[in-house]
A = this chain, B = another copy of it.
């Protein structure tokens, strides 16, 4: 591995590169606002050392093992637990060697850049990982992981995080968040309300989830009680610092049924819902969530368009989140209309849209966000959270929606060490984009400086009401 080059991801041409350097140097050290992600609140609550390098870098990162799996590496060999409890590799060093042997597969991917950023900035390792140096690098990381400076709270400070949001089930008691608050630690870790498990009636556990949900809220198991349970739980989250809700749906469909239709639908989905009923119920609930956001001020996020668990055999063996979630075409224009008809013009709502379907950027999302006061565009997401993906996001949305209908960056990660790497990448790519606009005289450099600051810091903080 080369050492991290200070000009990485900047334009190649010298003048534009110089502009990018100047823009980046002014935003490089801004605090990290992380309004959407999947870090474990227990890390901050317990502040325990991370385990070995394999458990830190390989096992929890579906970006990593999906690529290895695609090239014939078995998930058992990577220590991914089997649902039947069958044996899998537990020797961190063996897993690490296997990873190192296949490291070349990540050439040209963002995982490569995130990993090398963490290796160098957190562990001071500037070599490129390979089969040859796998053991030596493993040992250096393992040794450092025992140091107090490598604990989650110390890293939070080292990373310059100002606030970070986790993502939490609607039925979560948020005990870890309470523990953080009571501990007196100065870090700010807030939950986000993610009710998918009590909204998606296609799940096998939906009925049980809803029963637990209304019991927890102390409301009745009928539609109005179910809605009230959402209000109760949202308030519970809000009291613990939540500023947002998040909704991961297979599509962007919304509905705005009458109270009696919705109530009848709720009764049906509690029994044996048809696929259409389950879809319609999810659609109806997005509109209900928007209605509640208008009331309680929680920022609403929709992450649609993933075909989850596309590989049933793999799902049977290993469960969810194993790299087998595949994007599909998503229609925002027709599908969001019922919700927008109801609340699209309401200044009290902030609805942040994400997509896995890049064709929607210029065709649908930018025109929608460039018109409706309630709408904002989330950053390039998941597979598209990458240098080329972020560049396409800006190129395809800016001319229609501008910069100010976007909300800065989300790192969206489960991999703690990738947080500064991802924000670094986003800031670089945005500065590179701006530098090109300055270099071909579409914008003045003083404006680009202001926008770079907005994209790196202010817009996320304001859009998510931190």
Contact = CB atoms under 8 A, between A and B. Distances in A.
A399 B372 contact: no
B404 A105 contact: yes
Given A341-B313, A402-B105, A358 B363 contact: yes
The CB with the most chain B CB atoms within 10 A, among A4, A329, A440, is that of A440
Q: Can you tell how many copies of this chain the complex includes?
A: 3
A224 interface: no
Interface range on chain A (Cβ under 8 Å from partner): 35 or more
B9 A108 contact: no
Given A12-B439, A341-B312, A344-B311, A402 B67 contact: yes
A447 B109 contact: no
A364 interface: yes
A402 to B, nearest CB: 5
Interface in A92-122: 104-110, 112-113
Given A362-B383, A383-B362, A310 B337 contact: yes
A102 to B, nearest CB: 9
12 contacts: A12-B439, A67-B402, A69-B373, A70-B373, A70-B375, A307-B333, A311-B341, A325-B367, A326-B333, A326-B367, A386-B399, A387-B399
The 10 closest A-B pairs by CB, nearest first: A8-B441, A5-B441, A386-B399, A108-B398, A12-B13, A12-B439, A328-B333, A383-B400, A327-B363, A326-B367
Interface of A: 1-2, 4-5, 7-13, 15-16, 66-67, 69-72, 104-110, 112-113, 128, 307, 310-314, 323-329, 331, 333-334, 337, 340-341, 344-345, 347, 356-359, 362-364, 366-373, 375, 383-384, 386-389, 395-396, 398-405, 436-437, 439-444, 447, 450-451
